[in-house]
């Protein structure tokens, strides 16, 4: 190949690589931006300073901003450490909660959860509540902590002993619908009366009954590695 032909070919190759990299970065930016979903109700991240949320951490020397923040794209970032949770100042009883979550790309996915009808001050790093599980590989499980009641068919109800939080009830998911770690997932959680129903990415993954019919804050756990949330919206259940 002549020198001029070689330089022309090299320039073309570099241009293609540059275009491919630009396209990849553009796609990453688009996927990270939070778009307002077509879901009526209260936008729980409307205040990007998180002024409508309180926090609980096992390390009392740390503040809310040390663990949780909202970026320029409207994504709530939870660092995952130390243990604790962010919770709404308002209390809710019957509602449909819609949100998206993903594990920080390139990190090891671990554990988190959505806390429903928080009914008492925290015991250890968790309060009395029902949890819609976000643990990687178990998203869609339901737990009742510190006496929060939850029930299902006898063959689906489990009693679990934990060194950290004692005895609690669990209702394993009916099916798994999580996307690979690092991709966005959609949770739709409907709590009405004594029932709760979970959908992940449009698929029904769990149902349970026997919940305590009380109003309480909604929480998001810090329990492991970095996790992201966006499009957190809530509307009263019909």
What DSSP letter does each residue of 124-168 carry, written as one string?
TTB-SEEEEE-STTTTT-EEEETT---B--TTT-EEEEETTTEEE
Same domain? For 108 and 218 the reply is yes
DSSP string, 92-123: BSSEEEEEEEEEPTTS---B-EEEES--SS-B
Same domain? For 45 and 156 the reply is yes
Q: What angle do CA 73, 35, 188 make, to 5 degrees?
A: 115
Same domain? For 50 and 5 the reply is no
pLDDT in the model for residue 163: 87
pTM comes to: 0.84
Same domain? For 68 and 120 the reply is yes
Same domain? For 97 and 10 the reply is no
DSSP string, 185-206: EEEEEEEETTEEEEEETTEEEE
Question: What are the phi and psi torsion angles at 190 (to 5°)?
Answer: -115, 120
pLDDT in the model for residue 19: 43
Same domain? For 141 and 227 the reply is yes
pLDDT in the model for residue 5: 57
Rounded distance between C-alpha atoms, residue 132 and residue 180, angstroms: 19
Question: Residue 222 forms beta bridges with which residues?
Answer: 84
Domain region containing 157: 36-236
pLDDT in the model for residue 30: 40
pLDDT in the model for residue 113: 98
Same domain? For 108 and 58 the reply is yes
Same domain? For 24 and 70 the reply is no
CA distances from 71 to 4, 74, 183 (A): 48, 5, 18
How many domains, the chain? 2
pLDDT in the model for residue 82: 97
Please, what's the b/e burial string for 129-158 (b: 16 or more CB within 10 A of its CB; e: otherwise)? Answer: bbbbbbbbebbbbbbbbbebebebeeebee
CATH code of 226's domain = 2.60.120.560
Per-residue model confidence as pLDDT tens for the chain (238 residues):
555 554 455 454 444 434 444 444 344 434 444 444 456 689 999 999 999 999 999 999 999 999 999 999 999 999 999 999 999 999 999 999 999 999 999 999 999 999 999 999 888 899 999 999 999 999 999 999 999 999 999 999 999 999 888 999 999 999 999 999 999 999 999 999 999 999 999 999 999 999 999 999 999 999 999 999 999 999 998 7
Same domain? For 97 and 174 the reply is yes
Residue written as token pair 């002993």: 161
Question: Residue 216 forms beta bridges with which residues?
Answer: 92
């Amino acid at each position: 190949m002549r020198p001029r032909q070689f330089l022309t070919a090299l320039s073309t190759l570099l241009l293609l690589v540059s275009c491919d990299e630009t396209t990849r970065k553009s796609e990453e930016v688009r996927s990270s931006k939070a778009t307002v979903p077509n879901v009526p109700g209260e936008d729980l991240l409307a205040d990007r300073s998180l002024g409508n949320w309180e926090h609980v951490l096992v390390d009392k020397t740390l503040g809310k901003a040390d663990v949780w923040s909202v970026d320029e794209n409207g994504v709530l970032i939870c660092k995952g450490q130390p243990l604790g949770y962010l919770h709404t100042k308002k209390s809710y009883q019957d509602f449909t909660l819609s949100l998206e979550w993903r594990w920080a790309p390139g990190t090891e996915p671990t554990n988190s959860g959505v806390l429903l009808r928080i009914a008492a001050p925290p015991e250890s790093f968790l309060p009395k509540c029902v949890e819609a599980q976000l643990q990687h590989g178990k998203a869609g499980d339901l737990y009742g902590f510190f006496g929060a009641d939850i029930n299902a068919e006898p063959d689906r109800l489990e009693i679990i002993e934990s060194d950290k939080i004692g005895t609690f009830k669990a209702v394993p998911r009916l099916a798994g619908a999580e996307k690979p770690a690092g991709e966005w997932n959609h949770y739709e959680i409907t709590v009405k009366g004594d029932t709760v129903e979970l959908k992940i990415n449009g698929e029904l993954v769990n149902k349970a009954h026997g919940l305590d019919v009380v109003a309480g804050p909604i929480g998001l756990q810090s329990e492991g590695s970095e996790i992201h949330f966006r499009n957190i919206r809530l509307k009263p259940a019909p």
